[in-house]
Structure 1
């Protein structure tokens, strides 16, 4: 059985905790109420306290995506199995995990920097 501990999974994990790190770093300077939802005109229409569980959830989206993708990797490995055993094909599940985690991490970071 192939080890789940590879460079793409380690990078994915590190990217998934970046929003938490940023949140903890900027927490003292954040305003008491922060915008959590914006309408189509980019106007904030919902505010919560900066220590609200919703803010933690937005920071955790990248970590949740990482965990889901980690559990889906065996499925992706079966889908991308090749006869030649190409290294690129074998690395696709880890790269998908990295990409999805990175996207959600960027969303969390953008949310925090806009707050």
Structure 2
């Protein structure tokens, strides 16, 4: 079942987070730029899956599910998803580290503008 209302909700929440990125960047809060960027990607990916009639798995990164169903995506957009796979996976790998940090990694100190 396609729940368009849920897909729209995900996209609206992604837009709100996107609007916040400029403020976070200005404040040099690169850790939260990375964290919010991952959330934006996750919400958009899950909205796409819903629009394709696929229930998104309860995972933070679902680009592989999109690629597994690439035949359901208009041909003109397929290359885009194949090209962003690595970046999506990198953002996912940074999700918890950007939020919690680690004994040897202080998010506000260790992330750079280049990474953000």
Band of TM-score, shorter chain: 0.3 to 0.5
Of Structure 1 and Structure 2, which has the larger fraction of its residues in strand? 1
Which structure has the bigger radius of gyration?
A: 1
Compute the TM-score of the two structures, normalised by the length of structure 2: 0.34
Compute the TM-score of the two structures, normalised by the length of structure 1: 0.34
Of Structure 1 and Structure 2, which has the larger fraction of its residues in helix? 2
